[in-house]
Amino acid sequence: MKSPFYWLAAGLLSLSCDAAQIGGESFDYASASPLGSQGGGSGWSGAWFQDGESTVTGAVGLGFTDSLGNVLNASGLSADTSGTATTRSLRDLSSGQLNNVWISFLYQLPAANSNFEGVSFYRGAQPSFSVHNPGSTTTAAIYLTSNLTGGASVNTSRGTFGQTHFVALKLTKAGGTGGADRVEVFIDPDLTGNPASPAATINGSNFDFDRVRIAGQNGSKLLVDELRVGVTFADVAPHSAVAGNDSDNDGLTDSQEAVLGLDPNVSDAVLIAGIKTHPDWFDLYTADGMIGLGNNGVMLSQNSDDPVNLIFEVQQSDNLTQWGTLETYNRQVELPAGKNFLRVTLQDR
């Protein structure tokens, strides 16, 4: 018999939310092939095209593991801006102009230079905002810049040469100062739950976008991978969670909370305690209620996923008053995963 808490978790699973990824690109192409005319991924209105020299497919794909040990889902190779001249590869989203979305990608700047390398977001031919290493510095600093007239450029104070960074952007329509649009950038956030502390924020009159550009000035090298656009952070941060990790100590693992659409860094212990106290409010069984379903039969208990011990005796009597043990049967029964109801039947052969 499973514990009451197992029943609680099973009941809560119905509350999970469906993912809604709008676009994705894993650069799953042959190594060293130009991006121009490549049309893989999903959510795009056409293939990549170029303004200048084409970005190529890198020799390796990038990966990221957060501070909790969760691993970002990744496949394919990467985009590499290396070239003999400035590389600029662009692609349009099929959904049209977007805001109130999340964007993510992997970003690695291998070495110092004094050129612009970055990922920019356009509304048609109009640049809206960029994540980049500016040509004014030879450091690995990652900047968030508004490409609108009079827009700000903010140093996130993050970035390390040769290290793969997970970059997540949150766009909020009219969510900034004075009702302006807002873009927040998070560098290397944990993959479970919504990140709360942006490394930089910019405001602008209109950050809607429908086009992505990956560029390296003078063919300088930048690697970009796992480009995703989605409605929620979970849409753009699919990952394999650490088994059994429970960051907020509420009894639900981080992976379970991710399925339920909960924040693994915010405890749900009070809600869980309330459901346990009033299971009837949620059409759940208490421990006594489940035992009552046995109709006065024998209840077999199970510890964790261990086998159930099934023990019964065959007794013998010659007067129907005094009974002695004729034979004892003791057997361990392996149960299938999930919820189980067992019964024993006897047949005369």
Task: Specify the pTM.
Answer: 0.68
Does 347 fall in a domain? no
Half-sphere exposure of 274 (CA within 13 A, CB side): 6
How far lies 318's CA from each of 159, 314, 324, 332, in Å? 87, 14, 10, 31
Percentage of residues in the chain with pLDDT exceeding 90?
A: 58
Does 265 fall in a domain? no
Return the higher-pLDDT residue of 345 and 32.
32
Does 196 fall in a domain? yes
**pLDDT in the model for residue 3:** 39
Does 145 fall in a domain? yes
Which tens digits make up the pLDDT trace of 32-65? 999 998 999 999 999 999 998 999 999 999 999 9
Domain extent, residue 166, equals 20-237
Which of 136, 276, 261 lies closest to 145 in space, CA to CA? 136
> What distance in Å separates the CA atoms of residue 76 and residue 87, rounded to the nearest whole number?
21
Half-sphere exposure of 302 (CA within 13 A, CB side): 21
Instruction: Indicate the pLDDT class of residue 1, thresholds 50, 70 and 90.
Output: very low
What is the count of structural domains for the chain?
Answer: 1
**pLDDT in the model for residue 295:** 63
**pLDDT in the model for residue 149:** 85
Which tens digits make up the pLDDT trace of 123-161? 999 999 999 999 988 999 999 999 998 899 999 999 999
Mean pLDDT score, 13-40? 80
Average pLDDT of the residues of the chain: 86
Asked whether residue 2 carries a pLDDT value surpassing 80, the answer given is no
| Sheet strands (E) in 12-163 | 21-25, 49-50, 56-57, 71-72, 79-80, 87-92, 102-108, 117-123, 126-133, 143-146, 153-155
| Sheet strands (E) in 181-235 | 181-187, 200-204, 211-216, 223-230
Does 297 fall in a domain? no
Does 64 fall in a domain? yes
**pLDDT in the model for residue 279:** 84
37-41, 182-186, 244-248, 289-293: segment of lowest average pLDDT: 289-293
- As a whole number of angstroms, the longest Cα–Cα distance in the chain is 103
Does 1 fall in a domain? no
> What distance in Å separates the CA atoms of residue 319 and residue 323, rounded to the nearest whole number?
8
Return the higher-pLDDT residue of 328 and 62.
62
Percentage of residues in the chain with pLDDT exceeding 70?
A: 86
**pLDDT in the model for residue 10:** 34
**pLDDT in the model for residue 294:** 62
Q: Domain containing 34 — which CATH number?
A: 2.60.120.560
> What distance in Å separates the CA atoms of residue 28 and residue 255, rounded to the nearest whole number?
27
Mean pLDDT score, 10-31? 68
Return the higher-pLDDT residue of 231 and 261.
231
Asked whether residue 7 carries a pLDDT value surpassing 70, the answer given is no
Name the residue with tokens 């009597």: 317
> What distance in Å separates the CA atoms of residue 336 and residue 89, rounded to the nearest whole number?
52
Return the higher-pLDDT residue of 122 and 348.
122
Return the higher-pLDDT residue of 73 and 279.
73
Which tens digits make up the pLDDT trace of 234-270? 999 999 877 667 778 787 887 778 778 788 888 888 8
How far lies 72's CA from each of 21, 61, 228, 239, in Å? 15, 12, 12, 4
Q: Which residues make Cβ contacts (< 8 Å) with residue 53, sequence separation at least 6?
A: 83, 84, 85, 86, 87, 88, 219
Asked whether residue 173 carries a pLDDT value surpassing 80, the answer given is yes
Instruction: Count other Cβ atoms within 10 Å, centred on residue 318.
Output: 8
Does 227 fall in a domain? yes
> What distance in Å separates the CA atoms of residue 226 and residue 165, rounded to the nearest whole number?
11
